[in-house]
Structure 1
Amino acid sequence: MKRLLITGANGGLGSICRDRLGHLAGTLRLSARKGLGEARANEEIVYCDLGDKDAVEALVEGCDGIVHMGGQATEAKWETIRNANIDGMFNLYEAARKSSTKPRIVFASSNHAIGFHRQTERLDAKSVTRPDGLYGISKVFGEAMASMYHDKFGIETACVRIGSCFPEPKNHRMLSTWMSYDDFVLLIERIFMVPVLGCPIIYGASNNAASWWDNREVAYLGWQPQDNAEAFRAKIDAEMTPPPGDDLNALYQGGAFCGDGIHED
């Protein structure tokens, strides 16, 4: 690619993309509302509020690919979610439709789009959405937006329902949802390498022995995650007691998001 746009490039995963995806394009265009520091070699920085339609159109123009990590990243008030994750998604896809390059998009969806499924269920791309909060609802909306813009306008998107992408899993629930940074980067590489992408739903998790998710429908991507959260089970067992059976973190795939309040993924 000539130019790859990374939105939310100052966030946790956006920063990983900035550090590790430079080989995919001649220029990385990095965007956030603030806090990106100085541009490095082969980078350009464009500050942008996703709720600003005209600014988003200018941001997207000339980009061959977009890794959309921007937006509200956890549960919040509706006004906050609406600006970034609802209006912002519409603005991004309208900008892609109008652009001269028709970029391929990686959309950071979330496991919270299906969070109210029980942990005893095994899900695939055809499983019904069961969002566990306003944040999860915004991700279902984003997936629907991607689907319509693909069917109507040919904009290709990988909707990645990211589980828990951290250096290592932090608790027993994450033994099922964890995705390593290496597997995350490998997935994005494969998304931009395949000749035809379409608009798939992809569960963003490593090759975890305790996984609840089945990615067989996206085998054509050639993504083969290498890491397994099981390597951390003994450490987690030593640090904490597993949640009781009636705890949200033991009942639902979305864990504590299925209750009240704001929680980390």
Structure 2
Amino acid sequence: MTERVLITGAAGGVGTLLRPRLARPGRVLRLLDVAPVLPGDGAEVVTASVTDPEAMAAACADVDVVIHLGGHSREAPWADILTVNIDGTYRVLEAARHAGVRLVIFASSNHAVGFHPAGQAPDDLYPRPDTYYGVSKVAGEALGSLYHDRYGLNVLCVRIGTCIERPVTERHLGTWLSPDDCARLFEAAIAFPGTGFRIVWGISANTRAQFSLAAGRELGYEPRDDAEKYADDVTPSSELDRTYLGGEEFCGPETNF
């Protein structure tokens, strides 16, 4: 039986890294974005916004799993965050539950808790967003909780650390999620029965890990990569990088709108 996985924000940074790693026989990837997407073998392409309820309803038809990456991936004016990140996530969840989707994986972020002091963060760390962007991730987690409790939708919120090809800064040595480990985590989530509602950290098996791996391992996730092998090549951390989980780029005053 063919499994169909819808990826929103498929043309974005994480979506581009994940697409080839999630492609496999017996699975169809449905790739949705407002930007052009090169489909790859056997993929379906939908050019639409997550804010369009009719487009989302059509995109979720016959879908088993939704991986919701769509939205602004950095700080933006409140009106944009509200429309795309918060209302867009509501539209995705609403379409998914009406379509009978089995699981929604929501790409949350470490910036949902960015103003917590830097250090080892537990799986159930209370929200303390560092930006409007971070607020949108808190709202997405809350919507996921509601849609599970009210409608029985399985929702996994992955608080992604830093999903890039390789670490660039010293801070990334504690927050890095390698693209391969990102795919391993999502595959574990897809295979896990009866997810319910969960929040897990999305990081690799980093020697200097800032976040817990316990909840991810409960899903069967076993990361294989460690940012430490890049330690000699990264730039030093700033004072704010060492002070807050969210780091200077998101916790600094220049992120204000």
Give TM-score, length-normalised by structure 1: 0.91
Of the structure 1 ranges 209-218 and 135-144, higher mean CA displacement relative to structure 2 is found in 209-218
Matched, 1:225 2:223: yes
Q: Distance in 1 between matches of 2:101 and 2:82?
A: 25
Q: Distance in 1 between matches of 2:184 and 2:197?
A: 18
2:206 is matched with which residue?
208
1:128 is matched with which residue?
126
Unaligned residue ranges in structure 1 (runs of 5+): none
User: 8 Å contact 1:4–1:25 — kept in the other structure?
Assistant: no
User: 8 Å contact 2:201–2:215 — kept in the other structure?
Assistant: no
Q: Distance in 2 between matches of 1:218 and 1:241?
A: 29
Runs of 4+ in 1 over 3 A off after TM superposition: none
Matched, 1:248 2:240: yes
Matched, 1:76 2:51: no
Number of corresponding residues: 254
User: 8 Å contact 1:6–1:28 — kept in the other structure?
Assistant: yes
2:104 is matched with which residue?
105
Q: CA deviation at 1:130?
A: 0.6
Q: CA deviation at 1:4?
A: 0.8
Deviations 1:115-137 (A, max 9, x none): 001113x2222221110000000
Q: Distance in 2 between matches of 1:261 and 1:110?
A: 20
Unaligned residue ranges in structure 2 (runs of 5+): none
2:24 is matched with which residue?
23
Q: CA deviation at 1:262?
A: 4.6
Matched residue type, 1:5? L
> 1:101-250 maps to which residues of 2 (within 5 A)?
101-120=100-119, 122-236=120-234, 240-243=235-238, 247-250=239-242
Cα-Cα RMSD: 1.6
Q: Distance in 2 between matches of 1:180 and 1:25?
A: 25
- What percentage of residue pairs aligned between the two structures are identical? 38
Deviations 1:3-44 (A, max 9, x none): 11011111111112221211175321110002113x333111
Of the structure 1 ranges 130-139 and 84-93, higher mean CA displacement relative to structure 2 is found in 84-93
Q: Distance in 1 between matches of 2:133 and 2:25?
A: 30
Give TM-score, length-normalised by structure 2: 0.94
Q: Distance in 2 between matches of 1:54 and 1:196?
A: 28
Q: CA deviation at 1:215?
A: 2.8
